[in-house]
Amino acid sequence: MKPGASSNIIEMTGVAVGALHDPNTVVVEDVNWTVTAGDFWAVGGRTGSGKSDFLMLAAGLLTPPRGQCRIFGDALPIFEEARLAQRLRLGFVFDGGHLFNNLTIAENVALPLQYHSTAPPAEIAARVEQLLAATELTSWTNSTPGTMGRNWQKRVGLARALALAPEVLLLDNPLGGADARHAAWWLEFLGQLATGHELLPGKRAVTLVVTADDLHPWQHRARQFAVLREGRLEVLAKEKLAAETPNG
């Protein structure tokens, strides 16, 4: 963090969220929301409520049609070359992984390291091995994404996002379509990331924002809750979660 800067990581003031495939369509209006270091947010909402667009905007991948969104204190867009180091403090896991289909799983995970770091190949290979082991993907190392199920592809997306050891991780619906085994793994693993995981330097904790169709599985993991309903973001108190029906 810059000296004297606040611990706010993402700040939205009066933000409207446009849809990815049609930015003229506003899916969420008037968002005032702040994520600070150490938070673990779970943002719920029905399918089509704009969770993915909201999260992409929070990651700086979309620009708001109205309002101001700041990431690490800088207003969007933050894609200038000069802000790259800042940009890499934030990781994003897409719903479905969005993997590169022409690369193997190991190559997918190695790509950000090869592109951004000057580390020798052996060091990169060791880091990739560590990430694949932590996400139980070692047996898929030389497979291509097309040969894996969707749940496993999401894990590759997670391993790839963790490659550069981000301070903040945004995950789009990690439990979407997951069976009980995968769901339990995600809850456990993200819980570890939120308190400090050995994959990150000095076992530092990661600030997390996840979106979900149903907030209940996150009840004992996340620390802050919000729901996207009728085009608005509503922050929920933890004790009110029980009254929330699945799918908002």
Partner 1 sequence: MQTGIPNAFGESPTRLLRRVPQPKSYTDVLARAVFRLLLVVQGLGAFALITFGVLLKKSRVARPVITPLIRQEIFRSGVKLLPMFLFLALALGLLVIGQTVVILQKIGAFNYLGTVMVVVIVRELGPLLAAALVLARVGTANVIELGTARALGEVEALEALGIDPIHYLVVPRVIGLALGTFALTVYLILGALGSGYLWAFLQDVPILPGDYFRQLAGALRGLDFVLLALKTAAFGGIIAIITCYHGLAQPLRLEDVSRATVRAVAQAVIAFVVLDALFILVYLLA
d(CA 214, CA 173): 9
Binding partner 1 (rule: CB under 8 A), the pick from 61, 165, 200, 241 is 61
Which of 101, 245 has the CB closer to partner 1?
101
3-state SS assignment for residue 83: helix
d(CA 71, CA 219): 26
84 binds partner 1 (CB under 8 A): yes
Site for partner 1 in 13-32 (CB under 8 A): 20-24
Residues 32-51 within binding reach of partner 1 (CB under 8 A): none
Torsion, Cα of 136, 141, 144, 145 (10° steps): 20
CB of 61 to partner 1, least distance (A): 6
State the greatest distance between any 2 C-alpha atoms of the chain, in Å, as a whole number.
53
- Per the CB < 8 A criterion, the answer to whether 181 and 104 are in contact is no
Pick between residue 209 and residue 215 the one whose CB is nearest to partner 1. 209
Q: Which positions from 92 through 131 interact with partner 1, judged by CB under 8 A?
A: 92, 94, 96, 98-101, 111-112, 114-116, 121
Residue number with CB closer to partner 1 (47 or 79) = 79
Q: Name which of 168 and 227 has its Cβ closer to partner 1.
A: 168
Contact (CB, 8 A) for 214 and 44:
yes
**Does residue 150 interact with partner 1 by CB under 8 A?**
no
Q: What is the distance between the alpha carbons of residues 127 and 163, in angstroms, rounded to a whole number?
A: 8
Nearer residue to partner 1 within complex by CB, 116 or 203 = 116
How many angstroms separate the CA atoms of 230 and 232, rounded?
6
- Are 15 and 31 within 8 A, CB to CB? yes
Residues engaged in binding partner 1 (CB under 8 A): 20-24, 56, 59, 61-63, 77, 79-81, 84, 87-88, 91-92, 94, 96, 98-101, 111-112, 114-116, 121, 160-161, 164
